């Protein structure tokens, strides 16, 4: 069986979706048909008996829209206010859509402090496990409203990898606005080749990701590579795929060749806390 086909047997899957995938590009408002489809797909995977975790961004984006702001806030306090409004609205929409399929979602908001503090981390872990036993789909986001510069994850790529490591997920799917990893920016370089499989994250790939000019998309590839290091070292396979059509999730979990696949290499020396406190993970 190919590595891709083995993805059919995954038991605990984390799926990360970003704000740009959840909102309409033209207006910034919630893309309801996409959310509806996402919820149906997640429920279907849950119905196959797998544990499903959704890491969903969108709190600030939805809050900004709800409050009628013209542009994304730059000031911290305004961002935090937007997140407070938007997170509640986002969950309201998720609750409504999941209810149509008789699926119960839950909200888990985390900060770095949740992970650094031994008791909070144990509580978070126990809550996840209890929710899985009860058949619930946890929806995770950073607790933007209270997080501080020093103790914030800052991006949900990192957060989703850390959640994967915490709950020992065996697959992390990062939905992005690009198809996956390329050797160069395909918009600028027609010779750019798509990379569909990454066996090891070597320095070459690391440097490529750091040099944003050589990579496609809105940047953020460096955080995705960093997320891949955490996820694969903790024992999860990871796939970066285009979230434009969320049915790519079903395709990936049925073993189809979509996006860029990073193979898990469980590293016994990997200590999640080391990564979280230093924000650096290199083997």
Residue 43 or 141 having the CB closest to ligand GLU: 141
Does residue 14 touch ligand GLU according to CB under 6 A? no
Does residue 170 touch ligand GLU according to CB under 6 A? no
Stretch that binds ligand GLU, among 45-53, 113-121, 139-147, 209-217 (CB under 6 A): 139-147
Stretch that binds ligand GLU, among 112-120, 123-131, 137-145, 226-234 (CB under 6 A): 137-145
Q: For residue 177, how many other CB atoms are within 10 A of its CB?
A: 15
Length of the chain equals 283
Residues 220 and 158 sit within 8 Å (Cβ to Cβ): no
* Helix (H) and strand (E) counts in the chain: 12, 10
Q: Provide the CB-side half-sphere exposure for 62 (13 A, CA).
A: 24
Judged by CB under 6 A, the number of residues near ligand GLU is 13
Quote the crossing angle between the two packed helices 118-133 and 156-166, to the nearest 10°: 80
Supply the minimum distance, in Å, between the C-beta of residue 153 and ligand GLU. 8
Burial of 219 (C-beta count, 10 Å sphere; 0-12/13-18/19+): exposed
Residue 59 or 216 having the CB closest to ligand GLU: 59
Phi-psi region of 132 (alpha: psi -120 to 50; beta: other; left: phi over 0): alpha
Does residue 155 touch ligand GLU according to CB under 6 A? yes
Among 38, 65, 81, 142, binds ligand GLU (CB under 6 A): 142
Alpha-carbon distance 64 to 72, whole Å? 6
Does residue 144 touch ligand GLU according to CB under 6 A? yes
Among 141, 176, 226, 260, binds ligand GLU (CB under 6 A): 141
Residues 23 and 61 sit within 8 Å (Cβ to Cβ): yes
Stretch that binds ligand GLU, among 28-36, 138-146, 183-191, 258-266 (CB under 6 A): 138-146
Structure tokens at 165: 């490591």
Q: 48 to 77, contacts with ligand GLU by CB under 6 A?
A: 57-61
In sequence order, what are the beta bridge partners of 176?
242
Q: What is the DSSP letter of 213?
A: G
Residue 18 or 243 having the CB closest to ligand GLU: 18
Binding string to ligand GLU for residues 72 to 101, with x set by CB under 6 A, is what? -----------x------------------
Residues 138 and 205 sit within 8 Å (Cβ to Cβ): no
Supply the minimum distance, in Å, between the C-beta of residue 69 and ligand GLU. 13
Residues that bind ligand GLU (CB under 6 A): 18-19, 57-61, 83, 141-142, 144, 155-156
């Amino acid at each position: 069986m190919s590595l891709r086909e083995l993805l059919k047997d995954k038991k605990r899957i984390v799926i990360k979706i970003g704000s740009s995938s959840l909102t309409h590009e033209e207006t910034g408002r919630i893309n309801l048909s996409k959310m509806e489809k996402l919820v149906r797909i997640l429920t279907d995977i849950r119905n196959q008996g797998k544990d499903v975790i959704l890491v969903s961004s969108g709190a600030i984006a939805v809050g900004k829209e709800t409050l009628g702001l013209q542009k994304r806030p730059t000031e911290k306090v305004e961002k935090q206010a937007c997140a407070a409004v938007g997170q509640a609205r986002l969950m309201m929409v998720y609750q409504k859509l999941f209810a149509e399929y008789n699926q119960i979602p839950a909200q888990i908001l985390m900060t770095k402090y949740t992970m650094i503090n031994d008791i909070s981390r144990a509580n978070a872990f126990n809550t996840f496990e209890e929710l899985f036993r009860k058949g619930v789909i946890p929806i995770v986001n950073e607790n933007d409203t209270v997080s501080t510069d020093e103790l914030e994850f800052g991006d949900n790529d990192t957060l989703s990898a850390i959640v994967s490591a915490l709950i020992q997920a065996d697959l992390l799917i990062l939905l992005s606005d690009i198809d996956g990893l390329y050797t160069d920016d395909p918009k600028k370089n027609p010779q750019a080749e798509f990379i569909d499989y990454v066996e090891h994250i070597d320095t070459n790939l690391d440097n490529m990701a750091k040099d944003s000019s050589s990579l496609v998309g809105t940047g953020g590839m460096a955080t995705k590579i960093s997320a891949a290091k955490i996820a694969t070292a903790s024992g999860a396979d990871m796939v970066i795929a285009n979230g434009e059509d969320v049915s790519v999730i079903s395709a990936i979990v049925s073993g189809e060749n979509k996006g860029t696949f990073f193979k898990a290499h469980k590293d016994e020396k990997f200590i999640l806390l080391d990564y979280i406190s230093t924000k650096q993970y290199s083997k």
